[in-house]
Amino acid sequence: MSDFSLRIDGMHCGSCIRRVSQALASAKGVQVQEVRLGAARLSATEADASVELAIAALAKAGYTARLDQ
């Protein structure tokens, strides 16, 4: 497993944290470690495609995200 962090735009409140957590939980190959305003820390349980899947799940929920390096 490898850990990675995402920067997430458009989060404003606790409801956003809940929606982001739910969206990331639906992404295959991703385990959510922490979600806070503007960011999330995740673990990839499968290949590198997990980063793209997490970003796609967030886009579907209405948030833009990018890998935090």
The domain limits of the chain are 2-68
Q: What pLDDT, on the 0 to 100 scale, is given for residue 5?
A: 95
For 9-34, what is each residue's pLDDT tens digit? 999 999 999 999 999 999 988 999 99
Is 46 a residue whose pLDDT tops 80?
Answer: no
Mean pLDDT of the chain: 92
CA distance 48 to 69: 15
Q: What pLDDT, on the 0 to 100 scale, is given for residue 17?
A: 97
- Counting residues of the chain whose pLDDT is more than 90, the rounded percentage is 80
> Which two structure tokens, joined as six digits, stand for 46?
């499968």
Residue 47 banded pLDDT, cuts 50, 70, 90: low
2-68 CATH: 3.30.70.100
